[in-house]
């Protein structure tokens, strides 16, 4: 039965309907990803659900601005059947898209650990196999499409339960005056709802405001919704100049200009970077020997064996959460923060990189990625980093080894990589970015049942890529260039793990970082935090490079009292120093944790250790000042 109601009553009802659907999405998002929120209590979830309605209201008002305007404009045409039919379609289509965005993050969140922002459109714009990827997504996550269809059905069904009745207008002048006043009031309330607060001195709510309703940083994703996250990052320049310190103070705390003074001549040693897709530290047995009473084996037997002959970072940390953030961090020592460097307004800045630096030293430089050329913008970045040659699926030129989704299987592409290296003039610098350890979590049919099946479908792919890596080293070890090569192996970013030890803000950046030189001339462990942006200056130190360059990271071979690691998650800069982790939102600290005595980061000790807090806050501010100001002013070179 349909019931008639006044225009403003029906609009209010329809917004309550949307708020209900978004709350259902929030609960569904939490339940779908509950394994990633093991520290969330029932009381905490209730607080998040209530707080999240603030972001729902703001996001829904953004999405429905046109609908609201068409309904409240004081004209008689509002009550015509055709007009209301158009408004219905506008309402359904607009909000179906919003629901779709929310549901996509059910499955996308485990890979990024953040709500999707507008940068996702830039992230995938280079993919040439979008149809195949979509069909794989449809097949693997079909239940999500069923949920979407059900929610849209509810939206359509409940929308029509009330319809707008045409009022009897006795005095047109009074009616239009009254409606104009109501329009003004509604407009004012809409502005307040969008801003999330009242008062001229308060700022509109942003993604970082979700921190007000959570106890653990990762919970901010539950509080937010995807349409709000996308809309609030539209046309927003994430960086603005800051001046926390004068120049001398800034350099004393955190100096990014490097002036090396080596004791020996430059060594023309080959350098190979191996970036492993989704190889989070939790999948690697050698880095988790104390877990499960010493019985945890992981899924990387070859990498484990290589680590016994390498210099290994026990506390390796990524600087980003997405694949496209890894190459700038690793090759150019430029981290991603609020948005990936390659998607920022400043991606065309001139900068130092190993490609540029080593090319000037006579190196042959190259980048390998088995996806269709242009995927993830890697070929574009390689060009910007002045890497001379790019090898992708096009150069591989054999589609029988295509995995059907992303690119060439890792085993075949690593063999191709070894063959190409054999033809390069020495010295060479080359990077390969693996691919098979990725959704849709497939391995070649000939290996079905060969690799261990872990609790997560990704883990058999990790084991397969580890095997591909083993076969590469078997082939490379027989070449004349092998013994004169420095290998650096890391992952692009953390990936989901079943281990509770990594279910926290620190663990979600945990990756392997190791340096391997055949002959055991580089061996041992480093226990202090090390980040991806430390790799470039560390390699240049090992090569005895003697020219000035700029790097946001610091060599692991230099002792510094202010050595810290930084990454960015859900509105907070995460600064790792010694055993502590500080969360800083750009204005103030929001959390301080003792990683040594609180591995799960459950106890916020903010303001309990004022000296430590002040020291790390100064590091956070110095990093932001160096990073923001240099990007804005295009000063990523020493002479700029």
Convert the pLDDT of each residue in 511-553 to its tens digit.
999 999 999 789 999 999 999 999 999 999 999 999 999 999 9
Report pLDDT digits (tens) over 139-149: 777 888 899 99
Is residue 638, in this structure, part of any structural domain at all? Answer: no
- Rounded distance between C-alpha atoms, residue 488 and residue 513, angstroms: 7
Residue 299's domain is classified under what CATH number? Answer: 3.40.720.10
Q: Record the tokens describing residue 593, joined without a space.
A: 């944790």
Which region holds residue 609: left if phi is over 0, alpha if psi is between -120 and 50, else beta? beta
Q: Record the tokens describing residue 630, joined without a space.
A: 């240099």
Which segment of 113-122, 186-195, 405-414 scores lowest on mean pLDDT? Answer: 113-122
In this model, does residue 447 exceed pLDDT 80?
yes
Q: Are residues 138 and 88 in the same domain?
A: yes
Q: Are residues 36 and 72 in the same domain?
A: yes
Is residue 379, in this structure, part of any structural domain at all? Answer: yes
Give the total residue count for the chain.
Answer: 640
Give the mean pLDDT of 176-184: 91
- Rounded distance between C-alpha atoms, residue 391 and residue 413, angstroms: 10
Q: Record the tokens describing residue 461, joined without a space.
A: 């792919």
pLDDT at res. 235: 65
Is residue 415, in this structure, part of any structural domain at all? Answer: yes
The secondary structure of 67-85 as a DSSP string is: HHHHHHS--GGGGSHHHHH
CB 95 within 8 A of CB 88: no
Q: Are residues 186 and 278 in the same domain?
A: no
Q: Record the tokens describing residue 226, joined without a space.
A: 């995807």
* Model confidence band, residue 250 (pLDDT cutoffs 50, 70, 90): very high
* Model confidence band, residue 202 (pLDDT cutoffs 50, 70, 90): very low
| Prior bond of 450 cis (ω within 30°) | no
Q: Record the tokens describing residue 78, joined without a space.
A: 């509002």
* Mean per-residue pLDDT over the chain, rounded: 90
Q: Are residues 182 and 117 in the same domain?
A: yes
Helix, strand, coil percent content, the chain, rounded in steps of 5: 50, 15, 40
Neighbours of 138 (CB within 10 A): 11
pLDDT at res. 378: 86
CB 141 within 8 A of CB 441: no
* Model confidence band, residue 125 (pLDDT cutoffs 50, 70, 90): low
* Secondary structure letter of residue 317 according to DSSP: E
Domains: count for the chain: 2
Q: Are residues 410 and 556 in the same domain?
A: yes
Q: Are residues 275 and 136 in the same domain?
A: no
Whole-number Cα distances in Å, 581 to 376, 407, 505? 31, 38, 9
Q: Record the tokens describing residue 267, joined without a space.
A: 């060594």
Q: What percent of the chain has pLDDT over 70?
A: 95
**CA-based nearest residue to 606, from 640, 558, 566, 572:** 572
In this model, does residue 201 exceed pLDDT 50?
no
Is residue 307, in this structure, part of any structural domain at all? Answer: yes
Is residue 535, in this structure, part of any structural domain at all? Answer: yes
Is residue 637, in this structure, part of any structural domain at all? Answer: no
Give the mean pLDDT of 486-490: 98
- Rounded distance between C-alpha atoms, residue 596 and residue 576, angstroms: 12
In degrees rounded to 5, what are phi and psi of residue 361?
-95, 10
Q: Are residues 160 and 291 in the same domain?
A: no
pLDDT at res. 168: 83
Report pLDDT digits (tens) over 102-116: 998 888 888 777 788
Q: Are residues 628 and 496 in the same domain?
A: yes
Which segment of 49-63, 224-238, 267-281, 554-568 scores lowest on mean pLDDT? Answer: 224-238
Q: Are residues 51 and 173 in the same domain?
A: yes
Distance of CA 503 to the CA centre of its chain: 16
CB burial of residue 260 (10 Å; 0-12, 13-18, 19+)? middle
- Rounded distance between C-alpha atoms, residue 476 and residue 606, angstroms: 50
- Rounded distance between C-alpha atoms, residue 223 and residue 213, angstroms: 7
Is residue 241, in this structure, part of any structural domain at all? Answer: no
CB 583 within 8 A of CB 384: no
Give the mean pLDDT of 337-352: 81
Report pLDDT digits (tens) over 8-20: 899 999 999 999 9
Cross-strand bridge partners of residue 609: none
Give the mean pLDDT of 593-611: 93
Is residue 640, in this structure, part of any structural domain at all? Answer: no
Domain boundary at 197, 231, 265, which? 231
Q: What is the 3-state secondary structure (H, E, C) of 96-165?
A: HHHHHHHHHHHHHHHHHCCCCCCHHHHHCCCCCCHHHHHHHHHHHCHHHHHHHHHHHHHHHHHHCCEEEC
Domain boundary at 231, 255, 276, which? 231
In this model, does residue 640 exceed pLDDT 50?
no
Q: Are residues 205 and 274 in the same domain?
A: no
Contacts of 110 (CB under 8 A, 6+ apart): 33, 36, 496
In this model, does residue 123 exceed pLDDT 70?
no
- Rounded distance between C-alpha atoms, residue 221 and residue 415, angstroms: 40
- Rounded distance between C-alpha atoms, residue 504 and residue 38, angstroms: 9
Q: In terms of pLDDT, which residue wins out, 354 or 172? A: 354
Q: Are residues 317 and 185 in the same domain?
A: no
Q: In terms of pLDDT, which residue wins out, 77 or 413? A: 413
DSSP helix/strand/coil, 266: coil
Residue 535's domain spans which residues?
A: 247-632
Distance of CA 150 to the CA centre of its chain: 30
Q: Are residues 467 and 601 in the same domain?
A: yes
Which segment of 180-194, 195-209, 321-335, 440-454 scores lowest on mean pLDDT? Answer: 195-209
- Rounded distance between C-alpha atoms, residue 254 and residue 615, angstroms: 12
């Amino acid at each position: 039965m349909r019931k008639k109601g006044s225009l403003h009553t029906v609009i209010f009802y329809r917004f309550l309907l949307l708020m209900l659907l978004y709350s259902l999405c929030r609960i569904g998002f939490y339940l779908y990803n509950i394994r990633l929120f093991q520290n969330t209590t029932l009381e905490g979830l209730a607080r998040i659900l209530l707080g999240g309605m603030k972001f729902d209201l703001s996001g829904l008002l953004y999405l429905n601005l046109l609908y609201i305007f068409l309904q409240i404009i004081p004209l008689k045409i509002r009550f015509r059947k055709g007009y209301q039919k158009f408004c219905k379609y506008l309402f359904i289509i607009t909000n179906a898209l919003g629901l779709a965005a929310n549901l996509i993050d059910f499955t996308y969140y485990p890979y990024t650990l953040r709500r999707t922002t507008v940068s996702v459109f830039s992230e995938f714009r280079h993919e040439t196999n979008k149809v195949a990827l979509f069909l794989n997504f449809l097949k693997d996550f079909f239940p999500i499409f069923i949920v979407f269809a059900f929610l849209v059905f509810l939206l359509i069904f409940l929308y029509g339960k009330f319809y707008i009745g045409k009022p009897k207008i006795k005095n047109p002048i009074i009616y239009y005056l009254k409606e104009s006043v109501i329009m003004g009031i509604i407009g004012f309330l809409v502005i307040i709802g969008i801003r999330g607060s009242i008062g001229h001195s308060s700022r509109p709510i942003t993604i970082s405001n979700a921190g007000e309703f959570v106890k653990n940083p990762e919970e901010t994703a539950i509080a937010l919704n995807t349409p709000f996250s996308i809309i609030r990052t539209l046309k927003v320049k994430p960086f603005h100049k800051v001046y926390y310190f004068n120049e001398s103070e800034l350099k004393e705390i955190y100096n990014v200009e490097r002036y090396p003074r080596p004791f020996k001549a430059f060594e023309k040693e080959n350098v190979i970077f191996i970036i492993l897709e989704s190889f989070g530290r939790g999948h690697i047995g050698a880095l988790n020997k104390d877990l499960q009473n010493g019985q945890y084996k992981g899924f990387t037997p070859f990498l484990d064996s290589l680590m016994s002959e390498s210099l290994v970072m026990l506390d390796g940390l990524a600087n980003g959460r997405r694949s496209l953030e890894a190459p700038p961090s690793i090759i150019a020592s430029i981290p991603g923060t609020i948005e990936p460097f390659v998607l920022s307004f400043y991606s065309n800045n001139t900068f130092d990189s190993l490609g540029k630096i080593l090319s000037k030293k006579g190196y042959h430089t190259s980048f390998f990625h088995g996806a269709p050329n242009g995927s993830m913008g890697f070929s574009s970045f390689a060009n910007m980093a002045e890497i001379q040659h790019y090898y992708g699926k096009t150069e591989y030129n054999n589609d029988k080894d295509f995995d059907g989704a992303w690119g060439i299987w890792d085993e075949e592409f690593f063999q191709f990589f070894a063959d190409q290296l054999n033809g390069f003039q020495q010295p060479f610098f080359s990077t390969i970015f693996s691919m098979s350890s990725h959704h849709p979590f497939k391995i070649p049919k000939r290996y079905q049942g060969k690799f261990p099946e872990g609790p997560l479908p990704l883990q058999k792919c990790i084991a397969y890529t580890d095997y591909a890596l083993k076969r590469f080293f078997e082939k490379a070890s027989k070449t004349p260039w092998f013994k004169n090569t420095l290998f650096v192996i890391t992952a692009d970013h953390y990936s989901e793990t079943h281990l509770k030890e990594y279910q926290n803000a620190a663990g979600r950046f945990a990756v392997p970082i190791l340096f391997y030189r055949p002959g055991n001339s580089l061996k041992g462990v480093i226990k202090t935090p090390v980040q991806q942006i430390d790799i470039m200056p560390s390699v240049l130190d090992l090569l005895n490079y003697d020219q000035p360059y700029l790097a946001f990271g610091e060599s692991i071979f230099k002792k510094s009292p202010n050595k810290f690691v930084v990454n960015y998650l859900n509105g907070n800069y995460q600064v790792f120093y010694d055993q502590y982790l500080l969360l800083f939102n750009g204005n103030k600290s929001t959390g301080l944790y003792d990683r040594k005595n609180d591995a799960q980061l459950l106890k916020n000790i903010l303001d309990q250790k004022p000296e430590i807090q002040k020291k790390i806050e100064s590091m956070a501010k110095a990093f932001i000042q160096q990073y923001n100001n240099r990007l804005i002013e295009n000063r990523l070179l020493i002479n700029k």
